[in-house]
Structure 1
Amino acid sequence: MSVDFAAFTTSHDERPPAPVPVDWDLVEEWLGVRLPRDYKRLAERYGPVDLGEYFWIHVPCVEDGRFDYGEWLRETHREARIEARDLPAGERFAVHPEPGGLLAWGCTRGSDTLFWDTSVSADPDEWTVVVRHQGSVPGSGLLDWHAYDLTLTEYLRHAVRETWELPSPPGPLMGPVSGSVARTAFLPTAAPWTPPAEVPPRLTDAQRRVALETGAGLDALRLLSPPPERPYLGGGTWEGLFAELGTRLPGEYVRLMDLYGAGCWSEWLRFLTPLRTGERRFVTHVEEVLGAYRSARGRFPEDHPLTAWPEPGGFLPFANSIDADHLGWLTEGDDPDAWPLVVWPRHAPQGAPLGHGLVDTLVAWQRGTLVTHGLAGLDEEDDPLEFAGFEAWDDRAHW
């Protein structure tokens, strides 16, 4: 059936929708496919919208620091590709840019993702909707991956419905939601999106082999994550830190920090600023983490088997993840250079100490060959060089 989006929606009084110019030729060339006409009409008339305070329909646009259409597609498709592997082989969806792959166009406040199934037809106007539901309610009839014989506008038309509406919707759908159409709240000043320019490989084939296969230690790490020109460690000294701690720290850590300074590895693992003075100094962060660990150990001792520094052999953290995992040493014995590394994972049981030194651990993790709870892993189809990197900090950083 032919459905007009305007026929079942009304403009939000306080956040009326507003279009963002789109160069469809550039967008479709970048995607490698043409897009459905109903989607392009919606984008040209409304821009990025919030439908019924539940569905976010994303269009090619960018909001500085908040949203980039190309990045959203890349991240959404990567997650879908990983999650689809859990399906039986005969039910598994391909994901764009694979030919006939799912192509994302929206998401919901319930973290569901909405796609077109581009395998349905060579004509994009005939593409139908597939929804990746998160946390489907048992008995609702919604499948984790639910395919509908409905185009984008037809699907949204059935989501905007009355509970008594006849004929009934074609199978279980999310909703009902209102037909209110608002500018997406987190994209108040969305601007036109331009496809990213092609970037030449940053490493030669020979350098890539060293970074990912044959290299070791700092030779490999420098290629995976080039060090900054001006590493930031803070305004103090190593001797001052050692005096405050009552112990020196492993020499490998000191040499690594002198080379890289404080910062974030692979947008995941944050190394504390070691030589900062004042309230946000290294020891302050360590004490906060260990206070939380002791509290958790008091309530759930079976899940927190480590002792906490400065107890003998205690856990001494020096880095944390964006998901509140912590990396540190077990301070066993009098020689800090022999202290093993260990991760205190937030969402998993405590694991054994890691089997490598700090630099080799970073190399193996960024290559994707180290898999352990608390350190985000790579997918089998990821290019490690796309995810490896180091972002240096300055004194503005909290950590």
Structure 2
Amino acid sequence: MGSVGDLAARLGIDGMAVNHVDWSAVESSLGLTLPDDYKALVEIFPDGRFQGFIRLIRPGAVGSPTAEYLGYYVQRLQDMREWRDDEPDRFPYPIFPEPGGLLPWGVSHRAGLLFWLTDGDDPSKWPIVVAHPEFEHWAAHDGPVSAFLDDVVSDRFDGDPYDIDLGGDPFFQPTPEGPDPALSAPTPAWLTPGLTDERPYDATAELAELVPPPALRRSIDWAAVQELLGLPLPADYRAFMEIYGPGTFCDITILPPEELPSLVERTFRKATSNPMRLPQICVPVFPEPSGMLAWGETADGWTCGWMPLDPENPDAWGTVMADPEVLGHQLHTELSMSSLLLKYAAAEGSGYALGRDMPWQGAPTFVSRT
């Protein structure tokens, strides 16, 4: 396996093939032979993210047939070509199936794409091209994919064009599957103070009445979002993104789905690097069992998140506010994202601070991200 086996050993993954793929059928769907190291990565590694940053595109992705490589990404490439028609300077490379065109092999934490430049008859020599999610910046790297991923987990990747720090110990984060066995464990100390008999409810309609949203309604492919994130998201968050879009509600900035993995990663690193953290008391952070999934940030550095106590029912997730050091927290198992925002906005400075020292002051507002 060469560098693929070395990479697997470094990341604690058994080097034996566990995923069996009909590569002849997959490659026939493309009309191309794929690099051997990529195929070995797919066979050895489960679905997941390298250093919380890169997820491999796998045959059958986003609900497409298992013998298809591109599936959903056919449309992503078509979108790129249509965008190029309007802004040709934004795309410096041909796009598959054009000769030597960009063929995606990975997805970044912000839903950006990583490509092979399929130039030449030897796929093992295809260069790697990393694109900003909006294709504003590009960076070329030597292949193969396994060597590139080794650079990523070894902190030899400088983050271009994302400008992020991927330092820290190498890790691979598998995509969660099925219910979390930790949910049957005794109630931890961090959960007890906020536990109530109430359950979250969708307050989107009341929220829109209190703070009228922009007139333009958005269309989002939520099946693709779930495939990229590895889990479903609550209905009220989906409705918020379609009705309001990303932006700042009062002083809470709510991120779009493609930016959630980056916030989750930052929160996890902040929490686990703090020597004062006591795991039995402090709120857990994803990918820890039942860990907080961040969806927003306040102006003074608090993190807003969901508590996914029932992974199969995101509409039952309560919310939590974690302080800037992710040491203290305020748990609201009775509040969904929308009902938390409603209660916060309707307080109009009366002191409902959601666990923070300073509540929002003044009338509720929403400022859309431009």
- TM-score of the superposition, structure 2-length normalised? 0.42
- TM-score of the superposition, structure 1-length normalised? 0.39
